[in-house]
Amino acid sequence: MVRLDVYLHDNGFFESREQAKRNIMAGNVSINGHTADKAGTSVKEGDQIQVKQKDCPYVSRGGLKLEKAIGVFGLDLQGKTAMDVGASTGGFTDCMLANGAKKVFAIDVGYGQLDWKLRTDSRVVSLERKNFRHMEFEEVGEKVDFLVMDVSFISVTKLVDKIKLFLKPKGQGVVLIKPQFEAGKDKVGKHGIVKDPGIHKEVIERITGYFSHNELTPKGIDYSPIKGAKGNIEYLLWVEHMGISEEKNQDYADKAIQNAFNNL
């Protein structure tokens, strides 16, 4: 007998045991017609294993967030050097590589989270136990063409100086805006959820204004296709270092908020 997650990986259903576990927990795997819900379930010779669907083509669903941004904003990562701030398991990193990035610095304050597939990829430089807010240029040693950021429990405005430190002039980025970590405590509802579209608008206006005054020009915004922790709506902000301002940013924000509340 063998564990279900090991069986799925060894038999080519998924690229890693981590991906297999996610699909098992999502209810996408069955044994002899019965849905399996534990990665450690034993598989015996002769058992019929079925996978009804795979959750996404990346090591985590986070890659789907960036995939949308790349498509909506028409971003070109071919041959670019990139940075993934708050990399975690590496969904954004995986998506950037799939879209042609030649090198990715994957940065995270945690340890041991990056998927093995990416950890062993020569195009990925894993920088663990690194608090981006306190990083120095020498820890990376070069500026990047493209930067993505998915962080929690801190306002992204506190990281602007570091974004500018590592992003080349005219370099572009996608920053995930999470209203639950940007609005004041008095504006965050029960269970940590921000349900008021007006607060979302306040948050976006404050962040885009701050970025604009600090040489990170907002170029567009849309809602993330996947809700964050506890079901919070999040937004994908496209920025350019020292770019030309877009006059329609306010319209973009209003439309993004409306579409998010209508579709999610």
Residue pLDDT, tens place only, 27-40 = 788 898 888 889 99
pLDDT score, position 245: 65
Q: Is 180 exposed, middle or buried (0-12, 13-18, 19+ CB in 10 A)?
A: buried
The two structure tokens encoding residue 127: 């920088």
The pLDDT tens digits of the residues spanning 35-63 come to 888 999 999 988 888 886 565 688 887 89
The two structure tokens encoding residue 178: 């999470």
The pLDDT tens digits of the residues spanning 75-131 come to 999 999 999 999 998 999 999 999 999 999 999 999 988 988 999 999 999 999 999
Q: Are 8 and 29 in contact (CB under 8 A)?
A: yes
Q: Are 240 and 217 in contact (CB under 8 A)?
A: yes
The residue among 229 and 150 whose pLDDT is bigger is: 150
Query: Between 62-73 and 91-98, two packed helices, what is the crossing angle to 10 degrees?
Result: 40
pLDDT score, position 19: 79
pLDDT score, position 224: 94
Contacts of 191 (CB under 8 A, 6+ apart): 230
| pTM score of the predicted model | 0.79
* CB half-sphere exposure, 10, CA atoms < 13 A: 7
Least confident of 27-41, 48-62, 158-172, 195-209: 48-62
The residue among 181 and 52 whose pLDDT is bigger is: 181
Please report the domains of the chain, with CATH numbers, ordered by start residue: 2-51 (3.10.290.10), 62-263 (3.40.50.150)
Sign of the CA dihedral running 29, 32, 36, 38:
negative
Sign of the CA dihedral running 107, 244, 218, 134:
positive
The count of other CB atoms within 10 Å of the CB of residue 229 is: 11
- Cα gap 171→262, rounded to integer Å: 32
Percent of the chain with pLDDT over 90: 59
